[in-house]
Structure 1
Amino acid sequence: MSSTSVWTDIDLEREGRSQGYIRVPYSGNDTGHGWIPVPIVVFKNGEGPSVLLMAGNHGDEYEGQVLLMKLVQSLSVDRVRGRLIVLPGVNSPAVAAGTRLSPIDDGNLNRIFPGDPDGTPTQMIAHYIDSGLLPQVRYCFDFHSGGYSSEFMPMAHLAAPDDPELRAQAIGFLKAFAMPNSILVEGLIGGGKRLLGSCRRLGVGHMSTELGGAGAFSIEAYRAAERGLPRLLHHVGVLSDVDEQAPPKTRFFVRQPMRDFVFAEATGVFEAYVGLGETVEVGAPAGAIHFTETPWREPHPVVFTSSGTVLCKRSPARTKIGDCLYVIGTPLDVQ
């Protein structure tokens, strides 16, 4: 690992269960020489793959945090084959605040990889993951939701690798996890600055999720993820047994590129016409933006820019120019 000020008292090579904190140095108004605690739990049991699980990359995404907290509370190290490293609230300042970005430095952890060992706290967390944890693991699974601003259908997703062998491996993750919906993202913009970019550079298999959102807790998405996580861990060989051997079927979609999302082109109150999972046609009405300061003004119409299925919609009704209102996907036949 390249030079870093971040440290931990946890020995990642120690057999058994270890728990504690990754310690990120911080000097602020209320602590001149302190550190930010990032909880970490490690299960090590003999030979086998090493797997990193993360949640709380964005602090307002709750289902994954609960998923991993309940895992570390219930998992016996005897069921592990190899090593499981779990970070249930990796961007801990954002997790504590319930915000997408860290309130300490406005850092978006999933947009600043590979980080900076001498940077802000969020940059130091990213650097520690990139240089200290990812080089030691074979797989990394990162559990996201839509956060405050967006709500998704319950889904797992991945940015599809170009290499056929890696692509087949990644689709295997989706099939084993078996959320109701699985999304392939082609040509992800800015992927190099995300955790995904570090995983690809270091040869680490990667999968992510969108488990609901809207700043709430999706029961449907959580329960599907809770059933799917043991299957996924068993699939990659780090969990010795699993109760449910045969995963359910998952529907595959290709997500449209970002430039084809439906964006707000006015500022006001968004009246949505269409909900999650509905089928839409290009040019069809998607909603209207109303102007509360000039209520006599005709609302601004919003139309769909492509045909397909609504994967994601904006949660807050208040919106401004440039906000994403809808994300559409098209069904994909995956054998």
Structure 2
Amino acid sequence: MTRIQSRIWTPIDFEQDGKFSDCLRLPLSTTKSAYGWIPIPIVSIKNGSGPTAVLIAGNHGDEYEGQLALMKIARELRPEDVRGRVIIIPSLNFPAVRAGLRVSPLDDGNLNRSFPGKALGTPTEMIAHYISDFMLPMADIAVDLHSGGFSLDYVQCALVRPGRTEDETDKLVELIHVFGAPVSFISSGDGGGGATTLNAVARELGVLCITTELGGGATLSKTGLRIAEDGVKRLLKHFGITPAIDVAESTGSELMEIPGRDFFLYADDDGIFEPSAEVGDQVEEGQYAGRLHSFDNPIQKPQELYFPRSGQVACRRYPSLTTRGDCLFNLMRPRAAS
């Protein structure tokens, strides 16, 4: 079968030494622009041979810490600082970034639920395919920076999937400690995107990949921004790509786990959510978690909610307005010794 090439293109030559800033061109034919394309900003910094780091943010458009961290790094790095290659895409889902949305306004596509994508698919599927088919195969290390976005407030953390082998898992755990977020997870991704995320495709390709959650509420956490910037710089230094970069040493990371779906608390009805706990709080199984107020019946007694397990709050719903099926809390606990 003939391999279908991506329809996305760029004038950047990723094999050329130097620093180049341009964009990926995502073709989009509309009534107002029959042969048009949408820009996705990209920076390539290369100096001789060496490892390649692919740094990505803006996979979801309403998550900002990673976007700003990568913009700052893109401005700061010079070719003479690099031994190898750094490719930076700070606003991968550019249509969603421009609109301030988690999903694309072009096709309602959730990019981090669209991997490995389709070469001839929707705009969101085409972006996922380009990353899966072209960018990740070039990478020795991939970083995909996320936050909680509009709907969640999240503990600042790093996440990896278990490797395909024990050796790969050991290397990923090492990267967690190099990155240096306060807490980190080794997660199968079953509570989120499963096999449809960038991280999942990277694993299948054998590319070491680390992702994050750095805040939430569709606003900017200064702490999350600092963690993102310092963590990425430490990874680049660890791989020998920017050996002289100025960044503080990591103090390590506390390994946590979310063992299963019973560590999630979901809304069983629509209403206004009144939480009783904040991100980072330690809670006990059966402890009062908050209440859900009916906006249809003002005199109806609110539904009281209770934590299903003991643990620490990893994230909670940020907007008060809630629909049945929304995640209200996600709990974590220290990772069990293997």
TM-score when scaled to structure 2? 0.95
8 A contact 2:145–2:228 mirrored in 1: no
CA distance in 1, matches of 2:337, 2:13: 41
Structure 2 counterpart SS, 1:7: coil
- Given candidates 79, 83, 86, the residue that maps to 1:84 is 86
- Render the CA deviation track for 1:250-273: whole Å, top value 9, x for unaligned: 222112334541100111000000
Q: 1:258 to 1:13 in 2, by over 3 A?
A: farther
Structure 2 counterpart SS, 1:131: helix
Look up the match of 1:41.
Answer: 43
- Given candidates 117, 141, 144, the residue that maps to 1:142 is 144
> Is the aligned partner of 1:210 residue 2:213?
yes
- Render the CA deviation track for 1:192-219: whole Å, top value 9, x for unaligned: 2111221122111110000101111011
Cα distance, 1:222 vs structure 2: 1.2
For structure 1, the 5+ residue unaligned runs are: none
Look up the match of 1:51.
Answer: 53
- Given candidates 53, 63, 66, the residue that maps to 2:65 is 63
CA distance in 2, matches of 1:96, 1:259: 36
CA distance in 2, matches of 1:168, 1:32: 50
* AA aligned opposite 1:56: G
Structure 1 counterpart SS, 2:132: helix
Q: 1:23 to 1:244 in 2, by over 3 A?
A: closer
- Given candidates 199, 203, 214, the residue that maps to 1:200 is 203
CA distance in 2, matches of 1:133, 1:9: 15
User: How many correspondences in the alignment?
Assistant: 335
Superposition pairs of residues 1-335 of structure 1, within 5 angstroms:
2-161=4-163, 163-186=165-188, 188=190, 190-244=193-247, 246-258=249-261, 260-332=263-335
After superposing the two structures, state which structure 1 stretch, 26-35 or 209-218, moved more.
26-35
8 A contact 2:266–2:328 mirrored in 1: yes
Structure 1 counterpart SS, 2:297: coil
CA distance in 1, matches of 2:288, 2:324: 18
Structure 2 counterpart SS, 1:225: helix
CA distance in 2, matches of 1:153, 1:159: 18
Q: 1:87 to 1:30 in 2, by over 3 A?
A: same
CA distance in 2, matches of 1:68, 1:240: 18
Q: 1:333 to 1:248 in 2, by over 3 A?
A: farther
* AA aligned opposite 1:229: V
CA distance in 2, matches of 1:22, 1:234: 27
Structure 2 counterpart SS, 1:326: strand
Q: 1:309 to 1:260 in 2, by over 3 A?
A: closer
Cα distance, 1:334 vs structure 2: 7.6
Structure 1 counterpart SS, 2:92: coil
Cα distance, 1:159 vs structure 2: 2.1
* AA aligned opposite 1:323: D
TM-score when scaled to structure 1? 0.96
Cα distance, 1:175 vs structure 2: 0.4
* AA aligned opposite 1:50: T
For structure 2, the 5+ residue unaligned runs are: none
